[in-house]
Amino acid sequence: MALLQSPSLCFGGAALNSRHSSASFRPGNLKPSPLSSPPRASSPRLSSRCKAAPAVGGGSSEADGSSLVVCFGEMLIDFVPTINGLSLADAPAFKKAPGGAPANVAVGIARLGGTSAFVGKVGEDEFGYMLAEILKENNVNNQGLRFDPGARTALAFVTLRSDGEREFMFYRNPSADMLLQEDELDLELIKKAKIFHYGSISLITEPCKSAHIAAAKAAKEAGVVLSYDPNLRLPLWSSAESAREGILISEEEISFLTQGEDPYDDAVVRKLYHPNLKLLLVTEGPDGCRYYTKEFSGRVKGLKVDAIDTTGAGDAFVAGVLSQLARDLSLLQNEEKLRDALKFANACGALTVMERGAIPALPTSEAVANAVLKIVA
């Protein structure tokens, strides 16, 4: 589900938090620097805790910096069974795939022709270097990426049921993404964004929680639009109640946050609305999505496909919406244009479930355009 707030955006499904809303937007200009991988032998130290990745520009030199979307949070390795419908113990093999919701969104936006950057932390290990390279290969600015020499890159084993839905087992006690500190933030990069996107996982533990709040505060003060994806992952929280307090949204997230109430009831969804919210989106998988603003609401049908792996489908949807909003925020006031953007986003999610893994399955703008044309035809 997704929410958009006054100039802030929220996804979570997704939701915008009024505490992080901003009243104006001042566009900044991102000047991409040459793409390069982080050196494995030596790289500039920010402190004894971590290394910083060399500046990596996202997009071409002609890219419009005012459409930059900065994604904050976790980047990790997903291990996905090669055969659906088996438990982790019974799976004969796993496919390694880069993932992490905010990173998926950043790559998704770049694949769609947008300008994006990622801010977060990985381990100073082979997986961390691999993920930095993935960002580079996908033209995502990674100058806000940090490497921690004392913690490993997070891993997630993902079981795929016969219907393609997932169950997770995480290895992050602690992982590098949890250890990002406030003084390691690239605040200048964040302030240059048009949209600052984040999830709830980075709000679970310190010191990353404080870094997250500081980053959102800097974005708000710079007039950047905020986008929030609740991204419910209960095993990562200390309790269901702490998750309910920390996350503030998909049908599953609405039902959870409203303690079991019907997520399809508009009155229930409206309970999550607040005065600063500009747009609330509720994702419904293959059935599409619902949208809510102060002026209008409705539903946009999804694209029916045979699901192989739903990992990253919601992130692809978010990337689709943000890529359109970064180009034209007036979508929030025009229902017809918003519906077109949501059709585009639904197609992004549908195409992603047709392959295994999140980032490897994220579609290009050409693939999405062809899928949308087929729907119209």
Per-residue pLDDT tens over the stretch 260-304:
556 566 665 666 666 677 888 888 888 999 898 888 999 999 988
Classify each residue of 318-337 as buried b or exposed e, where b means 16 or more C-beta atoms within 10 Å of its C-beta. Answer: bbbbbbbbbbebebbeeeee
160 or 194: which leads in pLDDT: 194
The band of 30, judged by pLDDT with boundaries at 50, 70 and 90, is very low
Closest CA to 345 of 7, 78, 9, 59: 9
Q: In the block, which residue shows the tokens 């978010």?
A: 318
Angstrom CA distances, 295 to 292, 332, 333, stand at 8, 10, 8
Instruction: Name 167's bridge partners.
Output: 159
Find the mean pLDDT for residues 83-101: 87
How far is Cα 201 from Cα 221, in angstroms, rounded to an integer?
23
- Tell me the per-residue pLDDT of 123-156, one tens digit each, with 9 for 90 and over: 999 999 999 999 999 999 999 999 999 999 999 9
The torsion angle over the Cα atoms of residues 204, 226, 252 and 294, rounded to 10 degrees, is: 140
Backbone phi, psi, residue 349, to 5°: -65, -40
Give φ, ψ of 277 to 5 degrees: -75, 130
> Mean per-residue pLDDT for 178-203?
94
As given in the structure block, the two tokens for residue 74 are: 């976790």
Q: How far apart are CA 259 and CA 224, in angstroms?
A: 32
Instruction: Tell me the percentage of the chain whose pLDDT exceeds 90.
Output: 44
Rg of the Cα atoms in the chain? 19
Identify which of 109, 107, 77, 82 has the alpha carbon closest to the alpha carbon of residue 93: 82
Q: Which of 18-27, 62-71, 193-202, 306-315 has the lowest mean pLDDT?
A: 18-27
Instruction: Tell me the range of 197-206, 245-254, 320-329 where mean pLDDT is highest.
Output: 320-329
pLDDT of 36 over the 60 cut = no
pLDDT higher at 28 or 72? 72
Query: pLDDT tens digits, residue range 307-320?
Result: 887 878 999 999 99
Q: Cα 372 from chain centroid? A: 22
Phi, psi of 279 (to 5 degrees): -155, 135
